[in-house]
Chains A and B, each alone.
Chain A
Amino acid sequence: MTSVTAAPRGAEGKAKSVEDDLPLQTDSSGRARQTTLFVLRKLGLFVLTLWAAVTVNFILPRLMPGTPADAALAKLAQNGPVSDATKAAIEAQLGVPTGNIFEQYVSYLHQVITLDFGVSYTFYPQTVAELVSTALPYTLVLVGAVTIIAFILGTLLGVLAAWKRGTWLDALPTLAGSFASAFPYFWTALLLLFFAGYVWRLFPTSGAYGPTATPNLSFAFLGDALYHAFLPALTILITSLGGWILGMRNTMISTLGDDYVTFAEANGLKPRVVALRYAARNAILPNLTSFGLALGGVVGGSILVERVFGYPGVGYLLFNAVTNQDYPLMQALFLMITLSVLVANFLVDILYGVLDPRTRR
């Protein structure tokens, strides 16, 4: 084997400081502009998908043959001939489309923007807008708040479980969480209702407020509303908490094995800082997507709980609309559900932008 006298070290000159010319020139104003652009882009996407959803909501019923009036008349016709007067009355009540499809679309868009969804069949003569606006606050406060509380609480317990892996702080929440979330929603609801509501009589068994109260913003009423919301809230908390604990625990265990956590320990950072700023901060990111989905499901996904507790929220309303074939109400509610999913996704997108610099580009 030969040995070659190579150039002595350093002969090729001092090592270039930045070996690859990466863009380092963007200053802080560039960063601010980047952030604005990011928000605008997400907002644009939100408006676009909203428009698409609204349009699909318009097209779908029109793909079905006939009008709602035709359907109602066909049902009546099964019991014998329908008089012209009846026909006219039904058509007047349910409406018959006029104008071409484009004109219909424009008037539909106008109605959507002015929140004019017509009159409910079931709760005639109340308008759909009235019904939805009465039900929405109850659902938003009950299910929305509990979903957020469950996410925060579950995430914290998950962090603790992963950090204290193998101890009782890990075993207890993990086991209890998976045990509780294995029950079906309504089963937990019925158990709570039976014991806390019926046997021990600690909480009311149905409604959003007592028979004597009138909805207003007084402390007395809010207290009464919270008292009534307690059992349904507990049901949702019990059944959803386990999922958040397990989800966070698993991603956190994976980030705890990541190099930046080891390096943070090697640099002697305080254990609490390593756990929160390094491991948990990164572990929470994948769970945000599930959180977005859960938030989006707040309006539509509470049917069972609201049904069991007779809670007058959106889910209860939707249940009634479907069983009574109340098309105007259903259409408005479906639009609400779509809207809530889109809003939740938009919020989570922005939250991602705040929490993860990699998504801001």
Chain B
Amino acid sequence: MTETVLEVTDLDVDYNTGEDATHAVRHVSFTLEQGEFVGLVGESGSGKSTLGFAIAGLSKPPAVVTRGRILFDGRDIASMSREELREQRHGGVAMVLQSGMNALNPVRSIRNHFRDIFEAHGHVDKRHWDARAAEIVGKVELPPQVLDRYPGELSGGMRQRVSIALALSLEPQLMVFDEPTTALDVLVQHAVMNTIIELQKRENFTALLISHDLGIVLESAQRVLVMHEGEIVEDATARQILKKPKDDYTKMLLSHYADPRGEVVELPGFEDRAARAKTGAKRADAAAHPPTVSPRERRTDQKAIVVEDLVKVYPPPRRGEREVRAVDGVSFTLEPGASLALVGASGSGKSTIAKLITAVEKPTSGSVKFGDLDVGKLRRGQFRSLHRDVQMVFQDPYSALNPLHTVEYTLTRPVANFTKLRGQDARRRVLELLDIVGLSPVEEFAAKLPHQLSGGQRQRVVIARALASDPQVIIADEPVSMLDVSLRAGVLALLEDLREQWGVSMLYITHDLLSARLVTDNIMVLNHGKVVERGDTAEVLRHPKDEYTVKLLDAIPNPRKVA
């Protein structure tokens, strides 16, 4: 028998910013039964976090509940006074925040975090505070010694576990997890998610898991709410969503998941590599919209990047600790026009390799050669010759663009730096770049400021900027990991087009094996700075040999696992 814990009826949450209010949550109604594990999935801007905050009674101006009720335990959360809300937090609704890494007070020890909660609610006898705290951290699989640590002394995964333990110490009936593992490394993400699932089964609280990742939600939740533009478009069991999704939006989200281990891997608008290679066809999308500019001619002097026995050692991060061998004896060659994936969890040294190739860092030993240019021995004044041909695309399109400059200005800078084009010629080149990355009408996009662009559009501008010097090699460091799933395929397709049509070679750095499978021919798996496995991308992912590769593959949330 079940009993309803939460009943949300016809809820509206608005952001009141002056004259025009934004309706972040619209006409939302649903219920949660005792002991249920429910997922709430949606892309950025869907209103899922706003809804989560409203349920936890944490809505703050400018977010205002303008209509509807949030009945919890027979009382309306939306109309409680501040003190009533505060008191109900013991045995009521607890929340674990998205960036759990920053959810702890940096100047208080973990023990004091627990004491603050016990003191506020008085539900634990003072004599048992420490014992109770130790018991609860044990439930999230942490040793009692963490109680004496400060947040800065714990890893991201441990901090998120501590946040969960703190929320748990309130003995809540309902726990709202807002993107609890998003900021964490893939392997850690997997481990923390497992803890949450086990914890929910054992403690039998009701859980609402908010995530942008349908994979994670389908893997853990029994029932899924799909949110789109402030409304809940589908409310069904995980199995139903997977087998018979009703809403078009749900179908679209699902279509962007594929198993990188599959025989054929494709996304909407992105045909499988092997199939394409067989027929010799280029990406269908690209053929349908040929770029208006002709491919450049000078492609005969293309050079390979040759990395030999590369080692990078950093000094110890703290006194009395060991030095860090970020890259440890890595060798590879990136041929002109080829695409190579560098994969691994965070700390595997993949981004350090990018820094060494672009001469941002100097190797401790070993060499990076671009043609006959020894990158490791370049001096400050000589970088330009390297950067004309080797360009980076960064992970975070939100911080990679100066918010004060228009797209045109951002793109004019590298054009002026690396080419002889000036004035109208430079402008023509900027518009051409925008056309290449598919931002049309070009004139309109050129005049925009970064905040007027979506994440996917920003990443296209970042790619256009990298193309400004007409480079031979692009190093893409997690280019799609900050983007919504539905936008990823488009950016990946663009990278693929660049290689096929312009002969740009690509070093693709990622922890996301699906995207690696889509856009690369070869793959190298890195663990603690060492290459543990390498070979043909499809071959390695379908038949992994190394234990670490298997672990990475297992950590991928995949909705189809439920089936």
Residues of A within 8 A of B (CB): 1-4, 6-7, 9-10, 12, 15-20, 22-24, 28, 31, 258-260, 262-271, 273, 277-278, 281-282, 285, 355-358, 361
Contacts and interface: CB of A to CB of B under 8 A. Distances in A.
Interface stretch (B162-170, B371-379, B387-395): B162-170
Contacts of A4: 259, 261-262, 560
26 contacts: A2-B263, A2-B264, A3-B560, A6-B259, A15-B190, A16-B191, A18-B141, A19-B155, A19-B157, A20-B188, A22-B153, A258-B102, A260-B102, A262-B58, A262-B103, A267-B170, A268-B87, A268-B88, A268-B90, A271-B82, A273-B119, A277-B108, A278-B108, A282-B107, A357-B152, A361-B318
A211 to B, nearest CB: 52
Interface string B137-168: 00001110110111011110110000100110
Interface in B46-100: 56, 58, 82, 85-90, 94-95, 97, 99-100
Contacts of A358: 106-107, 150, 152
A267 to B, nearest CB: 5
Contacts, number: 150
Interface residues of B, number: 70
Closest 9 pairs between A and B when the two form their complex, measured CB to CB: A268-B89, A17-B141, A263-B103, A15-B194, A15-B191, A259-B102, A357-B150, A3-B560, A266-B95
B296 interface: no
Contacts of A357: 106-107, 109, 150, 152-153
Given A9-B194, A278-B105, 17 more contacts: A1-B262, A6-B259, A15-B198, A19-B157, A19-B187, A22-B158, A260-B106, A262-B58, A263-B95, A263-B97, A264-B105, A266-B167, A267-B166, A271-B86, A357-B106, A357-B152, A361-B318
A114 B158 CA distance: 56
B142 A18 contact: yes
Contacts of A28: 148
A6 B558 contact: yes
B120 interface: yes
Given A17-B142, A22-B154, A263 B104 contact: yes
B266 interface: yes
Main secondary structure of the interface of A (DSSP, over half): loop
Contacts of B117: 267-269
Contact of B561 (A6, A268, A285): A6
Contacts of B148: 28, 31
Nearest to B346: A20
Contacts of A273: 116, 119-120
A9 B187 contact: no
B103 A269 contact: no
A361 B319 CA distance: 8
Contacts of B82: 271
Given A267-B89, A269-B116, A357-B150, A277 B105 contact: yes
Given A15-B195, A16-B191, A267-B170, A260 B141 contact: no
B516 to A, nearest CB: 17
B524 to A, nearest CB: 22
A357 B110 CA distance: 12
A23 to B, nearest CB: 8
Contacts of B153: 22, 357
A268 B123 CA distance: 12
B121 interface: yes
Contacts of B145: 24
A267 B167 contact: yes
Given A3-B560, A15-B141, A28-B148, A356 B97 contact: no
Nearest to A360: B150
A1 B265 CA distance: 7
Nearest to B260: A4
Given A24-B149, A266-B56, A267-B167, A18 B143 contact: yes
Contacts of B100: 259
B361 interface: no
Nearest to B347: A20
